[in-house]
Every structure is written in structure tokens, then in C-alpha cells.
């Protein structure tokens, strides 16, 4: 392939990523004020067009949530319920002068450390005005809609530096921003993965430090670039620390590749080749380190050692290192799992078809491989091709029957909490770079061969005066075909879930009518408890505006192993709330549950039981839950606004320690769950201790 001479010969020969391929015109380049103004207008126009197109595509993806944006989202259940809570609390805290980083509204009295969770403070705080006016459902919908659009636009900004044809940069941004990983992650509101705009912009900053050609429409000094890079790192910290760490690992590996390549090319002369650029890079990175270090020192301490922080493995019962990808699912689309779909529909989670977030496809890999071979003299292609391979291998995680590289890092502090399959994000960006350059070079080579003169490497290259209309049509068509071959299989796979399935967030009547009138600092144990599979209670509390404190919670703080001396009670309450293995009223469980209720200073236990609640909003068995909590509190519940409510727990009578067999007789098999029958269950449990009475309806 014919190469255009590099405009930065020392860095190009060093092999540190400068591409000798046709490059867009630096913005702004030298010239008159009029030409610089024209360049700015064209650059803004290209950004606006690309951003607008990505936003339209994102609106198509999220069309269902905008039918009723203040009440409809992916689901008010599962992890989406947790993220609704994370959008609601910072806005509530800022409005009431409370701490946005810590809250006792959930998991009271210990509370929840938002910085030790995927709290999305980097999104929730800027969107607080939306939350104040329209509620957390609307603000989360805004974040979900902007995530793929801005991620794609960020990749477009990066790729526009390296390709001369705007559609090529657009195709790369489309692959990255609307990749299966991004869209599938967002179906469960996993914005820490789906909001992927920072990594491409970080790479663009580093590229600007190495090869200054103009940033934000004029050349910037290294200190300015360092400040932008530092702000991006700070923002990423408050969006998702896991992505920040895994991209740090990828960056370190990339740096090793660059140095190794430079040593192969220049050997001992590498230092002399790099010396003219050391000061600029050192200045920029020094500013970045100083700014990010000062800004993140206290938040990092707060996340690792502050109140309600988590230590060791975030999920003690899970081997996260083994949650890796598979080579098969990289190459071929995983079929929709009917069993897993039924599971998520019952317990809460994405209510549409469950797809794989790692599908790349044979076609894209073939195009990328051919692109690496054809553009092998382009150092960026070699670098990102290497990163794609390394990211793919690391994403495989650990295996017990085969040594894999992630095993070197999997047991290290903090790194033990990384889910290796998320290295697929590195793979998608690397493939987006390769695809954009391959599409750009396809058009370039065809025009060059047909015109016989490549012309100057500018944004308008090749010159239309040297190319016939038919040549341009043919070159453009072939470039489009290359992009289509790579993207159509992925688009076809994702099309079955577009537009994204949405659900109305519906709170029980008790939450909307009774909860707002509760006294301040009133502690409620809401059933189903959010730490036992079903998490809807967090959505109910956040949408209602935090009218009560909630015992139990989701996220890492809800792991029962962290319940301390109340672990047995937390486990018993969780089993009474939801169980796959059957439910039995055991005296030991009743005692442990009562101890936990007293330790958590619970004022009321509330069990919603009304028509119209979705399956993912309900306990396994209302009669069993009534029997269990009647035994634990020693009193019958009151029927209030469609819920069974146990009140006055601070002065509740002793627990009812009936034999397991006797309690079971209060729960006939296939008993209907009508309120009258359920009330009789409470009376039956009371009678086992010689007490009289029944639930008040």
C-alpha cells in the first residue's frame, strides 16, 4: 500500500503510534483567520451531524422509555431498582443538606457507602435538577439514552484524528457506542459499563500530547491537555472505578508494547528519538497526576475505608475471576436463553430477551484481521490490534483446567473484584479503531488506484479534481460494503431487543398513601427484602422520596455475610421473603429474625399484597411470610392500604416458638392467598402459643 509521508518523522520512525496514512487536516492549521474559521465551522458541523445521528439511533433504542419517561424505564426491579436509588439519593441529599456519599436511608443503621458501590455520582449529581423536577426514573432514562450516543461520539472524536473520511470515523463510533456490551449492559441500567465515553477521550488526550495537531479547534499546551485528562479521570472515578482500573491495565500493557516496538526499531537510540517529546508528555501527565491525585485522594479513602465500606471481595460467595467470556460467544451469537429469561421475568431484571454482551462476530474479526494485514505499516493499527487480542484473552478470566493470563492478577487486592469479561470494552474500542482505519483506507486505496495520484493528505483528500465521479462512487461503495460486512451481523443480533423493553415503575399503595405520613427516621422492613434476589423495594423508596429508613438493602452492603451478629436473622428473613428451595417456619429462624429486627430498630414490617403487582414485586408466598413474621413479632398484622403491616415492634410480645410441624399445619398445601384466608393463618400461628386473635382486615 502506498504510504503518504509522515508530518512528524521522528515520532513516526520511533513507532509510537503515528500513522503515515492520510490524516485529516489539523484544526486549525496555519493560514488566514478566514481559513481557520472555516475549519472550525466544518469541525463543529461534523461533530453536530455525528452526535445528532447517534442521538437519533439512541432514541430508537430507548423509544419505549420515552412513551412515559417519568414512570417507565427498563424496570423498577433488579439492578435497575438499585440504580434508581442511586439517582434519587444524591438529588435528595443535595436538596436537604445531607451527605451524598453516605446514607442510612438504606441498610439502616449501618447505611450505605455510595463510593463503595456503582453509585454513578458522576451522572446523578449533574442530573439532580431532572430528578428534582421529574423524579429519578426520568433522570435515569436521560442517562440511559445519552450513554450510547455520547460513547459513540467520543469514539468519533478520537477516530476523526486518525482518518480522513468522516463516515469511516462514524462507523467506528457506531461500533463502539452501540456495541452489544454497551446496549446489553444498559438493559439492566449498568451505566458504569454503558457510559463508555471517557476511554476514547483519554486516548485522544494522550494522542494530542504525543502528536499535537489541535484540540478543541486550536493547539493546546501540555498543561491544558493534562487538565482535561485529569478531569476525565475524575469523572470516570465517579462513574465506574472498575472501568478506570481495567483501562489502566490496558494502558500499561499498551505502553509496554510501544516501548518494546521502539526498542526493536531503534534499540539504544530510542531515548534520543523520544527526547524532544519528553518534556511535553511529562508536563501533561504531571498535571494530570497532580489534579486527579488531589481531587481523588479523599474520595478514594472514603470508598476503601470510609463508613460502610466493603473489605475484601465485594461478593464473597462469587468467584468473579471465573466470570469470563468464551471464544464461542465471541464468534457466534449466543441464542436467547428461555430459561434465564423466565428467571429474570420472575425475580426482576431485564424483562426482554436476554442477549450476550460479548458478541463480535466472525465477519468483524475477519475484516479487522485483513485490516491489520493491509495496514501493517500503520502503527496505530498494530497497537490496537495487539490490544484487541490482549483484551480478548484477559476477558476469558480464569479456568480451572487451563492457565490464562488473568490468573496472574485475579487474586490481587482490589483486582479480585474486577469481572474479567468486562475487558470486552477494550476489545470493542480496539476493533472500532481498526474498522474505521480499514474503511478509510479502502476508500483511499481505490481512489488512489483509479486516479493515479493520491494528492495532499487533507480532510478533502483525494482531490475531486483528480477523481471522476464514478471513481468516487466506486470507492465509497466499497468502503461502505466493508463497514456493512463488519456491522450488519451485530446489528441483526441486537435488532431482536430494539427498542428496549420497558416497564412501568409501580409502587404499592401503602408506599404512595401511608409512607409519606410516617414520622421522621421511621425504620421499615419492606418485603420482599431487597437483598434476597428481588430488589423492587429500593425503587419504591426512591420514587417516593425517601419517606422512611429501610432495613436491608441491595448492592455489596446487602450481602448477608456483612450483617455481623445479625447474619442468621438476615438469612432467615431473606428465606421468608423469597426462596427457591422451600420455606419452613423453624423456631431458631424465628428467634434469629426477631433479634435482627430489634438490632436494626425496625418500627414496622410491611408486606404489600394487592392485585396488580408484578411477579418481581412479590414474595414467594404471602401466607408463609405472614406466618413467619407473626411468629417473630408475636402479634398479628394489620391490613392497611393493600399491605400486611406489623407495627409497634419496640413493644411487641415475645416470639411464638411453635414446633415446625405445628406451624406447617397452619399452611395447607395450595392454600389460596385471599386476604381472608391469609388473616386466618396469622390467627392459627397465634393460637399455637395459647393466644387469640387474627390479622385485622
Report pLDDT for 440: 94
Rg (Cα) of the chain, in Å, rounded?
29
Beta-bridge partners for 644: 607, 639
Cis, peptide link before residue 462, omega less than 30° from 0: yes
Where exactly are the structural domains of the chain?
A: 9-18+57-104+116-495, 509-687
pLDDT of amino acid 34 = 62
Residue 70's nearest CA partner among 23, 164, 139 is 139
Asked if residues 549 and 526 have their Cβ atoms less than 8 Å apart, the reply is no
Give the span between the Cα atoms of 547 and 512, in whole angstroms. 10
H or E segment at 503?
Answer: strand 503-504
Residue 669: the pLDDT is 67
Counting beta carbons within 10 angstroms of the beta carbon of residue 469, is it exposed (0 to 12), middle (13 to 18) or buried (19 or more)? exposed
Whether pTM > 0.85 for this model: the answer is yes
Question: All 3 cell numbers of residue 669?
Answer: 398445601
Mean pLDDT by 10 residues, the chain (697 residues): 39 41 43 61 86 96 90 92 97 96 95 94 97 96 97 96 93 96 94 95 92 66 93 96 93 88 76 76 93 96 93 81 85 85 88 89 95 90 94 90 86 86 95 96 88 48 56 90 95 92 94 95 96 95 97 91 93 94 90 95 95 92 93 92 90 84 80 72 85 58
- Rounded distance between C-alpha atoms, residue 201 and residue 154, angstroms: 6
Q: Give the span between the Cα atoms of 383 and 346, in whole angstroms.
A: 45
How many Cβ atoms sit within 10 Å of the Cβ of residue 228? Answer: 21
* Phi/psi of residue 640, nearest 5 degrees: -145, 120
Nearest to 84 by CA among 116, 122, 126, 131: 131
User: Are the C-beta atoms of residues 160 and 24 closer than 8 Å to each other?
Assistant: yes
CB atoms within 10 A of CB 416: 15
Q: Which three cell numbers stand for residue 401?
A: 483446567
CA 321, CA 600: separation in Å to the nearest integer?
Answer: 34
Amino acid at each position: 500500500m502506498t504510504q503518504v509521508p509522515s508530518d512528524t518523522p521522528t515520532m513516526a520512525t520511533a513507532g509510537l503510534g503515528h500513522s503515515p496514512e492520510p490524516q485529516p487536516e489539523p484544526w486549525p492549521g496555519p493560514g488566514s483567520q478566514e481559513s481557520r474559521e472555516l475549519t472550525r465551522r466544518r469541525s463543529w458541523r461534523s461533530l453536530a451531524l455525528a452526535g445528532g445521528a447517534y442521538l437519533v439511533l439512541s432514541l430508537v433504542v430507548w423509544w419505549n422509555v420515552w412513551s412515559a419517561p417519568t414512570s417507565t424505564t427498563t424496570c423498577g426491579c433488579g439492578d435497575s431498582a438499585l440504580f434508581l436509588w442511586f439517582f434519587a439519593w444524591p438529588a435528595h441529599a443535595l436538596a436537604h443538606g445531607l451527605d451524598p456519599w453516605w446514607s442510612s436511608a438504606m441498610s439502616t443503621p449501618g447505611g450505605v457507602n455510595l463510593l463503595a458501590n456503582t453509585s454513578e455520582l458522576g451522572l446523578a449529581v449533574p442530573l439532580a435538577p431532572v430528578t428534582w423536577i421529574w423524579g429519578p426514573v426520568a433522570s435515569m432514562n436521560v442517562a440511559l439514552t445519552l450513554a450510547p450516543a455520547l460513547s459513540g461520539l467520543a469514539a468519533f472524536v478520537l477516530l476523526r484524528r486518525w482518518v480522513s473520511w468522516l463516515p469511516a470515523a462514524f462507523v467506528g463510533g457506531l461500533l463502539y457506542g452501540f456495541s452489544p456490551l454497551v446496549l446489553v449492559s444498559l438493559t439492566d441500567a449498568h451505566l458504569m459499563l454503558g457510559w463508555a465515553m471517557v476511554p476514547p477521550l483519554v486516548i485522544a488526550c494522550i494522542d494530542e500530547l504525543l502528536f499535537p495537531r489541535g484540540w478543541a479547534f486550536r493547539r493546546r499546551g501540555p498543561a491544558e491537555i493534562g487538565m482535561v485528562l485529569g478531569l476525565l479521570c475524575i469523572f470516570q472515578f465517579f462513574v465506574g472505578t472498575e472501568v478506570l482500573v481495567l483501562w489502566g491495565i490496558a494502558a500499561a500493557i499498551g505502553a509496554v508494547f510501544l516501548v518494546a516496538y521502539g526498542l526493536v526499531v531503534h534499540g539504544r537510540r530510542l531515548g534520543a528519538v523520544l527526547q524532544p517529546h519528553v518534556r511535553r508528555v511529562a508536563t501533561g501527565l504531571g498535571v494530570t497526576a497532580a489534579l486527579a491525585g488531589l481531587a481523588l485522594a479523599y474520595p478514594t479513602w472514603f470508598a476503601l475505608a470510609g463508613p460502610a465500606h466493603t473489605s475484601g471481595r465485594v461478593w464473597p460467595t462469587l468467584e468473579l475471576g471465573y466470570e469470563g467470556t468464551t471464544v464461542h460467544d465471541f464468534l457466534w451469537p449466543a441464542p436467547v436463553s428461555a430459561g434465564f429469561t423466565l428467571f429474570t421475568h420472575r425475580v426482576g431484571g431485564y424483562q426482554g430477551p436476554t442477549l450476550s454482551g460479548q458478541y463480535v462476530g466472525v465477519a468483524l474479526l475477519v475484516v479487522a484481521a485483513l485490516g491489520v494485514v493491509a495496514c501493517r505499516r500503520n502503527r496505530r493499527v498494530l497497537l490496537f490490534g495487539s490490544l484487541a487480542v490482549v483484551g480478548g484473552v484477559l476477558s476469558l478470566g480464569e479456568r480451572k483446567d487451563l492457565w490464562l493470563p488473568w490468573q496472574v492478577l485475579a487474586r490481587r487486592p482490589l483486582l479480585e473484584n474486577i469481572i474479567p469479561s468486562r475487558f470486552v470494552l477494550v476489545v470493542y474500542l480496539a476493533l472500532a479503531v481498526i474498522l474505521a482505519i480499514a474503511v478509510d483506507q479502502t476508500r483511499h486505496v481505490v481512489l488512489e488506484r483509479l486516479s493515479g495520484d493520491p494528492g495532499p493528505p487533507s480532510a478533502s483528500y483525494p482531490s475531486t479534481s483528480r477523481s471522476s465521479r464514478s471513481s468516487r462512487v466506486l470507492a465509497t461503495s466499497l468502503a461502505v460494503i466493508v463497514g456493512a460486512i463488519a456491522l450488519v451481523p451485530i446489528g441483526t443480533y441486537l435488532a431482536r431487543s430494539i427498542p428496549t423493553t420497558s416497564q412501568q415503575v409501580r409502587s404499592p399503595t401503602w408506599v404512595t398513601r401511608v409512607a409519606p405520613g410516617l414520622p421522621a427516621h421511621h425504620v421499615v422492613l419492606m418485603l420482599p427484602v431487597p437483598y434476597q434476589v428481588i430488589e423492587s423495594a429500593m425503587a419504591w423508596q426512591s420514587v417516593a422520596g425517601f419517606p422512611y429508613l429501610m432495613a436491608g438493602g441491595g448492592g455489596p452492603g446487602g450481602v448477608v455475610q456483612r450483617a455481623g451478629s445479625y447474619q442468621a436473622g438476615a438469612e432467615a428473613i431473606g428465606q421468608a421473603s423469597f426462596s427457591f428451595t422451600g420455606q419452613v417456619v423453624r423456631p431458631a429462624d424465628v428467634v434469629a429474625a426477631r433479634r435482627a429486627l430489634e438490632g436494626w430498630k425496625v418500627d414496622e414490617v410491611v408486606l404489600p399484597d394487592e392485585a396488580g403487582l408484578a411477579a418481581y414485586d412479590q414474595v414467594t408466598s404471602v401466607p408463609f411470610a405472614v406466618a413467619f413474621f407473626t411468629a417473630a413479632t408475636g402479634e398479628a398484622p394489620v391490613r392497611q392500604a393493600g399491605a400486611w403491616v406489623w407495627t409497634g415492634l419496640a413493644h411487641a410480645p415475645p416470639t411464638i416458638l411453635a414446633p415446625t410441624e405445628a406451624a406447617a399445619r397452619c399452611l395447607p398445601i395450595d392454600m389460596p392467598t385471599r386476604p381472608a384466608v391469609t388473616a386466618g393463618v396469622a390467627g392459627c400461628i397465634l393460637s399455637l402459643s395459647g393466644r387469640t386473635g387474627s390479622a385485622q382486615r
